[in-house]
Amino acid sequence: MVKKILLISTGGTIASIQTKDGLRPGLTAEELLGYVPEVKAVCSVDILQLCNIDSTNMTPAVWTDIVSSLRREYDHYDGFVITHGTDTMAYTSAALSYMVQNSRKPIVITGSQRPINIDDTDARTNLRDSILYACDDYSEDVVLVFDGNVIAGTRAKKMMSRSSNAFYSVNFPVLAKIMDGRIIRYLPYQPYTKPVIFQEQMSDSICVMKLIPCSRPEMLGYLFENYDCIVIESFGVGGIPDRLMNEFYTEMKRWADKGKFIVIATQVVNEGSNMEIYQVGHKVKKDFRLIEAYDMTFEATVTKAMWLMARYPGSSHQFRSHFYETINHDVLCAEE
């Protein structure tokens, strides 16, 4: 039986055209598909033009539109391919991993570093590979396909701003390679048995505080006052600088029982956090049972917090108890 694939286009470089002010998305989903006519030999592809934006302009509202479309069309197709700009693609692939779970059907996100309508583009290969992967019987869940790599949706990170090998799988192996039209898998196939679930809402009451050597303590009060979740990008394996410690304790005690959350992440891409190693992290973690990102990507950390806050508004117990549940390979070494 011929597989049916739905191509959902959101814009990005892959769909861009040159203007006097630089590249902007302008090609339609139908035009994108016209550059890979060979896929007609392996599947039937329908198209949905959801939007046509630079991924710098990606928002949770667009994620909701994507998930609503997936929910509406889920029973009508064997797989889904979403074209997207590369700048926020890792956020979207992580967000969709939480918003659509237990999907036995593949949801593939792809894009390119160069527009599909130029000669030396990487777009045609990425789009062709993505459709091929979406057609395979052993494909499932949310993945990002780029430069021949199949990456779990929660593990992708853009590491190159211009090169074709832009995305890496962080702290987790690639799921598969696609070479010359062949899919080479590295992990055993474990099909989902639970029904697919969709959640269309994400909380946006979240901010990031990236520590630098001159971070000011008064920032903490403002952030606690205005956001329900603060993700602190700490140094190394994680800790709070002495100059912030007094204010940190004051604000934590003030907001701890009011549904506010702190998640400690690290600015270092690989190997993750562990606040218990150094004195600057050990005591403060124990005193407030701080939530750590451990080996999660930053994008997965942020979007998982957004998903949990929307699912369990104001519940610190539910937030904490579900943060370390592994979803689409997102966390492996949590010690909670």
* Active site amino acids: 13
DSSP state, 196? P
Helices (H), the chain: 29-34, 60-73, 89-99, 123-135, 218-226, 242-255, 279-288, 298-311, 316-323
CA nearest neighbour of 299 among 12, 100, 93 = 93
Torsion of CA 103, 104, 105, 108, to 10 degrees: 60
* Lookup: tokens for 50: 């959801």
Across-strand partners of 266? 234
CA nearest neighbour of 293 among 253, 254, 261, 317 = 261
Strand locations in 124-217 (E):
142-146, 149-152, 156-158, 167-169, 176-179, 182-185, 197-198, 206-210
CA nearest neighbour of 81 among 6, 155, 148 = 6
Rounded to whole angstroms, the Cα distance separating 300 from 294 reads: 11
